[in-house]
């Protein structure tokens, strides 16, 4: 069975600082990995995803994530935080050949300090 | 614009009543849709997989008679919370895969408050 662990339910950074949101997964088969962002009272917006190929994935809004199989990690980063990045971020996994059901991590709330 | 739409976005109802939430794929056909539930400050938990033309597949621990799912067409799935109680208050989110492109889209979510 697949599972996702996001380290840190709440991360706070200063505007302009590096953003690092951690995600580790467990999967018996090579997974697809996703990062979603959720603003208050809204659905989920896909930031980026890893399926196959290049392990460094670039997404929207300047975010990127690197798939590290040896570390079973898929951490999300952004070089310089913006106030508009304040939101809830979810890491998710699904089996390579499974249905499109996703297993989500617990979520990390990102706060940006002016 | 949104490619998966949920309606209503907000609903408040009295305890004991039933509430229906719709999930529509706007510009593609979806033979399956997924219903998630999200409690405040928590993650999304998959409730069930809605299958067009057949019965929904429920996750363990989800009451089938409580959460009725109907996938009446290739663009519409509905979730009916029957005899709602305050503990059913939550944020319900649907998703639908576009099998042609492989993309998965999420609805905007529906917040249910049961008084």
A64-95, pLDDT tens digit by residue?
999 999 999 999 999 999 999 999 999 999 86
A102 touches chain B (CB under 8 A): yes
Of residues B4 and B40, more confidently modeled:
B4
Report the sign of the C-alpha dihedral through residues B103, B31, B20, A91, in that order: negative
**pLDDT tens-digit readout, B20-44:** 999 999 989 999 999 999 988 788 9
Q: Collect all residues with Cβ–Cβ distance below 8 Å to B13 and sequence separation of at least 6.
A: B19, B84, B112, B113, B114, B115
**Spatial separation of the C-alpha atoms in residues B33 and B76, rounded to whole Å:** 9
Query: Are A110 and A11 spatial neighbours (Cβ–Cβ below 8 Å)?
Result: yes
Pick the range with the lowest mean pLDDT from B29-38, B78-87, B89-98, B99-108: B99-108
Put simply, the answer to whether A90 touches B97 (Cβ < 8 Å) is no
Distance from CA of B49 to the nearest CA of A (A): 8
Residue A63: predicted pLDDT: 97
Distance from CA of B22 to the nearest CA of A (A): 14
Both tokens assigned to A93: 């996994």
Residue A99: predicted pLDDT: 66
Binning pLDDT at 50, 70 and 90, where does residue B107 land? Answer: very high
Q: What angle do CA A80, A78, A73 make, to 5 degrees?
A: 155
**Spatial separation of the C-alpha atoms in residues A38 and A41, rounded to whole Å:** 8
Average pLDDT for runs of 10 along chain A of length 114: 88 97 86 91 89 92 94 96 96 75 91 96
**Spatial separation of the C-alpha atoms in residues A57 and B14, rounded to whole Å:** 46
Distance from CA of A101 to the nearest CA of B (A): 7
Query: Are B112 and B15 spatial neighbours (Cβ–Cβ below 8 Å)?
Result: no
B107 touches chain A (CB under 8 A): yes
Residue B2 scores a pLDDT above 70: no
**pLDDT tens-digit readout, B46-82:** 999 999 989 999 999 999 999 999 998 999 999 999 9
Among A2, A38, A44, which would you mutate to test the B interface (most chain B Cβ atoms within 10 Å of its Cβ)? A44
Report the sign of the C-alpha dihedral through residues B9, A44, A85, B1, in that order: negative
């Amino acid at each position: 069975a697949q599972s996702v662990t996001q380290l840190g339910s709440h991360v706070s950074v200063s505007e302009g600082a590096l953003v690092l949101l951690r995600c580790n997964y467990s999967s018996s088969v090579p997974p697809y990995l996703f990062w979603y962002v959720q603003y208050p009272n809204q659905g989920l917006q896909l930031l980026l995803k890893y399926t196959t190929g290049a392990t460094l994935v670039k997404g929207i809004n300047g975010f990127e994530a690197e798939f590290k199989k040896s570390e079973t990690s898929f951490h999300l980063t952004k070089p310089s935080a913006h106030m508009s990045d304040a939101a809830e971020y979810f890491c998710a996994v699904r089996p390579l050949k499974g249905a499109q059901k996703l297993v989500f991590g617990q979520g990390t709330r990102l706060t940006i300090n002016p | 614009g949104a490619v998966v739409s949920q309606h209503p976005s907000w609903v408040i109802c009295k305890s004991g009543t039933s509430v229906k939430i719709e999930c529509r794929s706007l510009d593609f056909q979806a033979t399956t849709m997924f219903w998630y539930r999200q409690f405040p400050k928590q993650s999304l938990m998959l409730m069930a997989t809605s299958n067009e033309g057949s019965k929904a597949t429920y996750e363990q621990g989800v009451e089938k008679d409580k959460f009725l799912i109907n996938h009446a067409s290739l663009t519409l799935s509905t979730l009916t919370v029957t005899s709602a109680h305050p503990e059913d208050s939550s944020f319900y989110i649907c998703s639908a895969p576009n099998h042609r492109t492989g993309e998965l889209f999420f609805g905007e979510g529906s917040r249910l408050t049961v008084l």
